[in-house]
Structure 1
């Protein structure tokens, strides 16, 4: 390669870095001043590094058959910053591609003003969402609880959103209980370090994370807490302990002063609505006081199953879950009430049951009785896979079903639930931190007439936690209008 070519490649890289650096303050200002959340084909770019922004642009090539440059998106951000926008979620990647497709029939400003007409000049006004923050309490602070805390703290910057006010835990045996809990939030062996600063207020039993003052309340029972003593009122309690899963148990939270609603991060029993966001969240009403966010596996597979059923029809099928081990298994062989789960989790693949296949019917009744399911726990700490073995009403091909699911992941109401990858080299750790409910692996798809096998990855911690937050947002009346409305 010539020296001229080498210099040109490096020069192009430096130029793109410079543009990406210029985007960061615009992204931050839109978020903090206007509560405008920006993304690139569903990838959030708030609080991202220069490299993170460049990688988000590069990702578009995988899924949209388009190159996307920072030179396409920077002018959009710059113009958005000048429009005094009301709060919204704007995908600047899709906006750039849509503008390119219209072939220069409008100036960029004319195009953006037409696309965003509902929110231009409406900064600070209530627009499709809550006008003030909504108090949230985490009851329990385990794996899911701490990830929920990270997401809530990350998303607090724009205002008019959910605000984490307290966590409720049992008092530990260590004298430095508060510092230990803060440390678990600060450092995570799977998800990495907390993005920000955390300090501990020992005197007042609180954790301060990125300016969010989070009260730590010690209690042995839900009904024993008076949240109003801590300035918390009309709060949504997210119970992530899994101890109480029926209405009688979860209603104990509603006996507390300062609590208005409860959501369970596990499948609910009895008549409790099991909500998979994107599928049946329209069932949430103002009268609902207790809801369930179902399970991580149910959230991962139901959106894909709905998409497939809508287009091809599902006669029947089997779901096999290859699931990372969880905290209820043993590190070494020891007694466990469950079959096989007493054997060492890091050393064994463990066949166990899953209710996810049957639970799909609670969110998607048209599939009732059509699916069976089983699970294998495997020696990885996070990221799982669901293998969907389906018999369809209509025959298709690998290209046909992959193309369809790719389009669903980009241009449908399920774009936050279904992601799509077409790389032949991806493995489970590549999906750590994914906030999609599930990711279709196109390279693994098998089709034989009307018989289809789909492989769906999912971060059973982060992806599920993101789905929980989406349900809580709806319960709280927090909604961001999404732009562009379509790619047509």
Structure 2
């Protein structure tokens, strides 16, 4: 996850990457791994290890720390104001806050957490500069929340049942090459925290499937008032060109998971698979490109946070 986040960050106009911490890799190994990421291919810019022990990307030096404990990383010595905690090991406030001890002023956790969680263009306006540790939730939440917000704001949601069909990864601890793996997900609980007016009638289930990347959410929603699937699609297209531009897109093409590998939208809504189930009940389907799209949103969140902090 860290390498993908770095790819987005070093190309992001409003972000300057000044340091990275990895307790296991040497700089030469970082160069090799950064240049080529499975599924996402080769990085087409200059990457090299400097004789000074720094990592150089596009000729810009990035200081390399090799600390096991977050509190030992001296972020302040290199002027790093914001730290992205993407290791997957420090996902609670107590653990992630250790970065503050090294001089970071703000920490963004790239996982569901017990800190305030924000999804770009959904609840980001609730961010307050006094927060020191926040979360960008998860890739699944970043796909679900925009879809649910559009439908709930326009038509009102009475009930939701969601199935997440997600690309498996090594953390599933099972043979992922030949299995469909049912698993627990916190999606319903977290979405209710982000879309605050959503009622409690939200249930979910997740399946991990053996594809290299890209996932699907399958929602069956019962609305509070009668509408049509054409009206739902129109609402999605309106949001795509308005408040959710860059976060939500509506696809007019036939989609397969490999079409999504480089898409940076959090949710790619697929109206061809939308249909009426019963009166006021609709099936809605959206794709998302897992960490690739999600970590672009993390950079968006970081840029927004930095701007709001500077205005304080």
Same fold, judged at TM 0.5 (above) = yes
- Is the Cα contact below 8 Å between 1:387 and 1:454 reproduced in 2? yes
1:306 matched residue in structure 2 = 149
Aligned to 2:307: 477
RMSD: 1.6
For the residues of structure 2 that align with 1:464 and 1:368, how far apart are their CA atoms? Answer: 26
Deviations 1:259-291 (A, max 9, x none): 11101000112xx10111111111212211110
Distance 1:436 1:204 in 2: 38
- Helix, strand or coil for the counterpart of 1:196? coil
Q: Would you say the 8 A contact 2:246–2:265 is kept in 1? A: yes
Asked if 2 retains the 8 angstrom alpha-carbon contact of 1:153 and 1:212, the reply is no
Q: Distance in 1 between matches of 2:261 and 2:214?
A: 6
Q: Secondary structure at the match of 2:249?
A: strand
1:212 maps onto 2:60 in alignment: yes
Q: Counterpart of 2:11 in 1: which secondary structure?
A: helix
| Residue 427 in structure 1 maps to residue 275 in structure 2 | no
Shift in Å at residue 204 of structure 1? 2.3
Question: 113, 116, 124: which is aligned to 1:268?
Answer: 113
After superposition, the C-alpha distances for 1:172-211 in whole angstroms (9 at most, x for unaligned) are 4xxxx3222211110122111112111111x322221112
Q: Tell me the CA shift for residue 234 of structure 1.
A: 4.9
The Cα offsets for residues 4-30 of structure 1, whole Å up to 9 and x where unpaired, read as xxxxxxxxxxxxxxxxxxxxxxxxxxx
In the alignment, the residues of structure 2 paired with residue 212 and residue 478 of structure 1 have an alpha-carbon distance, to the nearest angstrom, of: 26
Query: Whole-Å Cα distance in 2 between the matches of residues 362 and 207 of structure 1?
Result: 39
Q: What are the superposed Cα offsets for residues 81-101 of structure 1, whole Å, 9 maximum, x if unpaired?
A: xxxxxxxxxxxxxxxxxxxxx
The gaps in structure 1 that reach 5 residues or longer are: 1-143, 330-341, 480-488
SS of the residue corresponding to residue 166 of structure 2 reads strand
Local SS of the residue matching 2:6: helix
Change over 3 Å in CA distance of 1:288–1:478 after alignment to 2? closer
Offset from partner CA, 1:228-260 (integer Å, 9 cap, x none): 44xx22520000012122221111111113x11
- Residues 277 and 401 of structure 1: CA distance in aligned 2, closer, same or farther (over 3 Å): same
Query: Which residue, 230, 247, 269 being the options, matches 2:93?
Result: 247
Residue in 2 that maps onto 1:450: 280
| CA drift at 1:449 | 2.6
424, 449, 462: which is aligned to 2:292?
462
Q: 1:478 offset after TM fit, Å?
A: 7.5
Change in Cα spacing, 1:313 to 1:228, as seen in structure 2 (3 Å) is: closer
Is 2:258 the partner of 1:409? no
Structure 2 residue 5 is matched with structure 1 residue 152: no
Contact 1:397 1:449 in 2 (8 A): no
Q: What count of residue pairs does the alignment treat as equivalent?
A: 308
Counterpart of 2:268 in structure 1 is 439
CA–CA distance in structure 2, aligned partners of residues 242 and 278 of structure 1: 24
* Secondary structure of residue in 2 paired with 1:374: strand
Q: Which runs of 5+ in 2 are unaligned?
A: none
